[in-house]
Structure 1
Amino acid sequence: MDDDKPRLLDQVRQQIRLRNYSIRTETIYTEWVKRYIRFHKYRHPVEMGAAEVEAFLTHLAVGRNVAAATQNQALAALLFLYKEVLKLELPWLEGVVRAKKPAHLPVVLTRDEVARVLAQMSGVHWLVANLLYGSGLRLMEALRLRVKDVEFSRGEILVRDGKGQKDRVTMLPRLVMIRLHQHLEEVSALHQQDLADGFGRVNLPFALARKYPNAAAEWGWQFVFPSGNRSQDPRGAGTFRHHLHEKTIQRAVREAVHKAGVIKPATPHTLRHSFATHLLEAGQDIRTVQELLGHADVKTTQIYTHVLNRGGLGVMSPLDRV
């Protein structure tokens, strides 16, 4: 072993950052690599192969009873480890059987249920929830929204680096414009105070911090929904005011659903599901909905046609014809 060579987990982090993956992906991948090595009694991955990967994945599915999405996440991390970090061409790993996600229909709220849930929310929580339902944003897309990507005059939101690192445009609901304007005035005052205190810089995506060294302190790059506290960047790049933590919104929506008396297992993502379903119910064409949601394949969007408010599979019961 070369003593000057970085430790394995440091190599994983380096390769993730070279590819501009998010800090969340970095945290998840390094944790799965640690669990994989720990499971095999701290053997180095280069000493292991298909049997060890399959044993680990089987342990997750059978011994730990994890969801298919969790098992696939672990496999993605191991694929990255062997292919991108260790540079091992192992065709057997590509052939490992991935767990299949169960074909569950999404939970969708009625318009009345959405109104009741939103009525139980206020402040920043209300604003975020309204963007999830009114713009079809994913939770992290809303929380990572930058000031410059909200276009009031055009009634648009530009979603940067959504799922699959794709950009897209969606609508900005008129209902939230006044409240959002007021909110941004408060955020601007907070930003000015941060600058006065010697801070006021925000973490920039990719290599923009090096390309535009002053952009991190500019108003347009600030998060629309900043955290109440400044914090140290986990990658050691300084002290920033990050965006709100997703658990804050998850907790607020869960409490609002309970107070509204909605018995469905609704989450923030349920508001996005409801956005798509209600657009289709209103007669919007599926291709437009696909673009607004940022789906790569229209087949993903088609699942909402199965939960439209038209009865089972859109067919009228013969009892209703009697």
Structure 2
Amino acid sequence: MDVVYLFYEHNKIRMPFYDYDKNLFTKMIASRLGFWDSLSNQFIVQPEHGDILIKQILVNKPYVEVEKDPNTPIAVGGFLYQKHNSDLSNKTTGADSAYLAAYPPLPDFFSCIWREKLEVELRSRKYSANTIDAYVQYNRDLCRRLQKLPENITGEDIKGYLAYQNQRLNLSASTMNLALSAFKFFYNNVLKHDIIQDQHRPRQDKRLPVVLSKSEIKAIFDAEKNLKHRLLLMMVYSSGLRVNEVVALKRTNTWLFPGRTASLQLSIRSAQKIFENALRKARIEKSASIHSLRHTFATHLLESGTDIRYIQELLGHTSIRTTERYTHVARCKSLQIQSPLDNMTLED
């Protein structure tokens, strides 16, 4: 029996259909709740139009809701009803542990074996810990979102994944290049199957980092009433750490920001959703992400007179050129400064 996955993100519900039965696909098409995205092989639904009706269509199927709510990133439904089909009193929204063991939520198609092989290959070539984490994360996310094993992924799958992610998140060229490097390394050096030899690198863009003003930062903190979530955002802004570094912080042997259980760290996607929710509650309309807090950290330090070399060290940039892009943001702000003469009233 297939488990249906509903991925909630950016006011959309994604339903990948790689391994699902045709009857369900036909029902979704007939419902006209959304549209079929042939680029990513997914059915896209607007939550406000289809959240309840989807559950009616899935009444005979176990399903998993992923990241619908940052506080409960994974919610399981339909399991008990499927297990006790004849007992209508058992139509509940939860699931018992026995059935969860048979149908674990969100299967990891990028197995521990592949992860270990990738990490060993990277460590043997003296890649940094951050790069290793990033390469593993990108390959896991590729398999997770496509719901395919690594050996079943094609070059077209990777091209579609990058195009869809860029459309959804408006990724920078550097981020897309990092993801592509992660895929190339894994498939060339670990899987020994060059499936992306024809994939071209994205053109470098010249856009400046999105930076928030001090008043906007304060508004975001004030708008977020959940103390754990506020601390997370404050940590990113005050330290300049990347989101994957912040969610991995520990106090002695427990996660500083636990996920749905104390033994699991908060996912990167959940951290991003926390920022998006706080941005919306603060009524800030900039196209910002949680990574913008890191950009803002660097820009505010530069504007306060901190030496750029210190900022480079704090951010962990190998090249000073990477840090120098923040001078362009600060320079743009300096051009908005009025001359004292402009505010002076002169006598005739």
TMscore range, shorter length? 0.5 to 0.7
Task: Let me know the Cα RMSD of the aligned residues.
Answer: 4.1
The structural deviation recorded for 1:269 is: 1.3
Task: Name the aligned partner's letter for residue 77 of structure 1.
Answer: F
Contact preservation (8 Å) 2:159, 2:199: no
Give the unaligned 5+ runs of structure 1: 1-7, 41-52, 148-219, 231-240
The structural deviation recorded for 1:138 is: 1.4
1:272-283 mapped onto 2 (5 Å cutoff): 272-283=294-305
> Residues 256, 30 of structure 1: CA spacing in aligned structure 2 closer, same or farther, 3 A cutoff?
closer
Q: Which residue of 2 aligns with 1:226?
A: 258
Contact preservation (8 Å) 2:223, 2:281: yes
The structural deviation recorded for 1:57 is: 6.8
**Residues 1:82 and 2:188 are matched in the alignment:** yes
Once the two structures are superposed, residues 16-56 of structure 1 have per-residue CA deviations (whole angstroms, 9 ceiling, x without a partner) of 1424644524514656895886576xxxxxxxxxxxx6x77
Task: Name the aligned partner's letter for residue 209 of structure 2.
Answer: P
* Distance (Å, rounded) in 1 between the aligned partners of 2:312 and 2:138: 25
The structural deviation recorded for 1:227 is: 2.4
Which of 1 and 2 has higher RCO (CA within 8 Å, sep 6+)?
1
**Residues 1:268 and 2:268 are matched in the alignment:** no
The structural deviation recorded for 1:261 is: 2.5
> Residues 78, 9 of structure 1: CA spacing in aligned structure 2 closer, same or farther, 3 A cutoff?
farther
Contact preservation (8 Å) 2:224, 2:230: yes
* Distance (Å, rounded) in 1 between the aligned partners of 2:150 and 2:259: 34
**Residues 1:308 and 2:326 are matched in the alignment:** no
Once the two structures are superposed, residues 262-297 of structure 1 have per-residue CA deviations (whole angstroms, 9 ceiling, x without a partner) of 221222211111111111110001000111111111
Contact preservation (8 Å) 1:290, 1:298: yes
Q: Which residue of 2 aligns with 1:136?
A: 240
1:1-322 mapped onto 2 (5 Å cutoff): 12-18=114-120, 19=122, 21-22=132-133, 24-28=137-141, 68=173, 69-70=175-176, 73-74=179-180, 76-86=182-192, 93=197, 97-122=200-225, 123-147=227-251, 220-230=252-262, 241-308=263-330, 311=333
Task: Name the aligned partner's letter for residue 241 of structure 2.
Answer: L
Aligned length: 216
> Residues 311, 320 of structure 1: CA spacing in aligned structure 2 closer, same or farther, 3 A cutoff?
farther
Q: Which has the higher helix share?
A: 1
* Distance (Å, rounded) in 2 between the aligned partners of 1:276 and 1:100: 25
Task: Name the aligned partner's letter for residue 229 of structure 2.
Answer: H
> Residues 120, 82 of structure 1: CA spacing in aligned structure 2 closer, same or farther, 3 A cutoff?
same
The structural deviation recorded for 1:310 is: 5.3
The TM-score, its normalising length taken from structure 2, stands at 0.50
The TM-score, its normalising length taken from structure 1, stands at 0.54
Q: Percent identity?
A: 29
> Residues 142, 316 of structure 1: CA spacing in aligned structure 2 closer, same or farther, 3 A cutoff?
same
* Distance (Å, rounded) in 1 between the aligned partners of 2:163 and 2:258: 41
> Residues 63, 25 of structure 1: CA spacing in aligned structure 2 closer, same or farther, 3 A cutoff?
closer
> Residues 310, 70 of structure 1: CA spacing in aligned structure 2 closer, same or farther, 3 A cutoff?
closer
* Distance (Å, rounded) in 1 between the aligned partners of 2:336 and 2:324: 13
Q: Which residue of 1 aligns with 2:90?
A: none
> Residues 72, 245 of structure 1: CA spacing in aligned structure 2 closer, same or farther, 3 A cutoff?
closer
* Distance (Å, rounded) in 2 between the aligned partners of 1:61 and 1:129: 27
Q: Which has the higher strand share?
A: 2
